[in-house]
Amino acid sequence: MRNRTVIVAVLLAVGALTTACTTSTSTAAATSSSATPTATTSPIPTSPAPPADVTGKSAFTIDAYDNFFSPNTLNGSAGQKLNLTITNLGAATHTFTISSEGVDVLLAPGTSQTVEVTFPKSGSTQFVCRFHESMGMVGQLQVQ
């Protein structure tokens, strides 16, 4: 009689555990599925990211899309040197060009290039894509 009571108690405990597991699993599934739309927000952007503050940094990365740089404004300090990596995430070939600094690299789709750029003493230095400058594919190294 006593043994049977123990078995029933164990069965009840197992049942309770199973229920708890099932409940927590379905809760987790619901949470992750509701989080999915937020996590999947990496489609190709249609406009540049807001200006980036690169003050004090020695390296930074921007992206090239069809046809804009993102971000397209970098705020730094006077005379600052920056190793800038440009990654072309667009479908077209772009360039990253600062004619006054002798910087001109060609970026096939899916490729990256790193160049050293120098911020001006004041004001801003413009960089462009030679192919799409007239379409507004420009940006600036800005000293505030």
Please give the DSSP secondary-structure letter assigned to residue 66: T
Give the chain's radius of gyration (CA, Å): 27
The contact pattern for Cu ion, residues 7-46, with x = CB under 5 A and - = no contact, is ----------------------------------------
CA gap 141, 103 in Å, rounded: 13
Q: Applying CB under 5 A, does 128 fall inside the site for Cu ion?
A: no
Q: Count residues contacting Cu ion (CB under 5 A)?
A: 6
Q: Applying CB under 5 A, does 94 fall inside the site for Cu ion?
A: yes
Chain residues 40-79 in contact with Cu ion, contact rule CB under 5 A: 67
Q: Applying CB under 5 A, does 141 fall inside the site for Cu ion?
A: no
Query: Which C-beta is closer to Cu ion: that of 86 or that of 129?
Result: 129
- Identify which of 51, 109, 61, 111 has the alpha carbon closest to the alpha carbon of residue 85: 61
- Using omega within 30 degrees of 0 as the cis cutoff, is the peptide bond preceding 88 cis? no
- Identify which of 69, 67, 51, 75 has the alpha carbon closest to the alpha carbon of residue 125: 75
> Coil, strand, or helix at residue 35?
helix
Query: Which C-beta is closer to Cu ion: that of 84 or that of 132?
Result: 132
Select from 82, 137, 141, 143 the one that contacts Cu ion (CB under 5 A): 137
Size (the chain), residues: 144
Q: How far is the CB of 65 from Cu ion (least distance, A)?
A: 9
Under the rule (CB under 5 A), what is the footprint of Cu ion? 67, 94, 129, 131-132, 137
